[in-house]
Structure 1
Amino acid sequence: MDRLPSRPTAPGSRLVVVGAHGGAGESTLAGLDPQWRAGGHAWPEAAGAGAVPVIVACRTHARGLTAARLAAQQWASGAVPSVHLLGLVAIDDAPGRLPKPLRDLLKVAAGGYPRLWRIPWSEAWRTGTDDPLASGPREARQLLGTLNNLTTP
């Protein structure tokens, strides 16, 4: 019930962004690079041998962080063997500092991932933009560089 489904994925994507829940920022993050693809809130299933590079996206509200924790548990259980999980991208759901209960929940959720990246609140992303990289926070550009380094053969 709390598990993400798996779906076959087309070959050729450098990275698949899996939203742990609706509104996670999956399509916004996938829009940072033309070789990245939004997973449609589902784990990718590789057509051939090898694993698909994946990041999980979530928002930093309680529902989002809980969904990210559950996705990490699903991955750790071995239920998605064709996934090469690179990490979690937590996108702030509001401006300002996270309240302590949410900071604690983020620590728990992030503990199930190889890496954690934080993206601060972006008013430009909230109101919509044609180019999420140009209008987004600098952390989005840093994420792009880091992930392209991790996924370049």
Structure 2
Amino acid sequence: MSAPSLSRGRKDPAPVNPFLPAAPPPEPVQEAMPVDELLGEDLAATGPARPLGIQAPVGASLPRTFAGPEARTYMVGLHGGAGVTTLTQLLGEQVAVDAGTKVPLGGTPKVLLVARTHAAGLAAVQRAGQVWAAGQLSDVELLGLVLVDDGPRIGKAQLSACRQVMQILPRTWRIGWVESWRTQTTPEISAAPLRVRRTVNQLRAIGAPRTVNSTTNEGNPS
């Protein structure tokens, strides 16, 4: 009596035609960008493009410092610990300059204000908005404000306060909380969610030095 065949019940793989192209690899899953609770589907909120000419409270001002000509964008914190150093690292030294907490004087520098979303940070934004609305920063090209989350979650009262200050300045961006940055000496943009990565890319594009294409008219010899 012959031994049973070991191949009984087992399906052989389908033959591969070497003359046909290989099947394409599966498409990568597209990462969806969630709707932001402050900005919706947008990356930035838009406010008044120019100062409204509103009188600032007595004594309202922002600290200033003289600075040389600079094509890059100054990142100015409205309070200590605003996140200026982190943002400057994310945008890169070709785009951004860490200006600490003082608005530069000299020329017409490009400036991005930076503040945290806690109560002290939003109060600082309110004061800065009053100074700008009164025309006291007319020598500055104010690009807008970057709000940096001060924790992994923002309460309803904070969200309401954020919405109020977002109407003060020309544009407002938000950098959400990235837990891994707490343990990194230099923040890695690859570790951030899609919305944060796209926001940083937009800030890089807006803050980048302008390139001027000049043409020389040498004229025709007579």
Q: How does the TM-score come out when normalised to structure 2?
A: 0.60
Contact 1:31-1:132 at 8 Å conserved across structures: no
Q: Which amino acid aligns with 2:125?
A: A
State the match for 2:124 in structure 1. 67
Contact 1:119-1:137 at 8 Å conserved across structures: no
Contact 2:75-2:84 at 8 Å conserved across structures: yes
Please state which structure has a larger fraction of its residues in strand. Answer: 1
Please state which structure has a larger fraction of its residues in helix. Answer: 1
Over the matched positions of the two proteins, sequence identity in percent amounts to: 37
Give the paired residue count.
Answer: 149
Q: Which amino acid aligns with 2:172?
A: L
State the match for 2:150 in structure 1. 93
**The one of 76, 87, 92 aligned to 1:29:** 87
Q: How does the TM-score come out when normalised to structure 1?
A: 0.85
Distance 2:150 2:188 in 1: 16
Q: CA deviation at 1:137?
A: 4.3
Instruction: Map 1:3-152 onto structure 2 (within 5 A).
Output: 3-32=61-90, 33-35=92-94, 36-46=96-106, 48=107, 51-96=108-153, 98-152=154-208
Q: Which amino acid aligns with 2:143?
A: L
Distance 1:6 1:57 in 2: 15
Q: Which amino acid aligns with 1:95?
A: P
Q: Which runs of 5+ in 2 are unaligned?
A: 1-58, 211-222
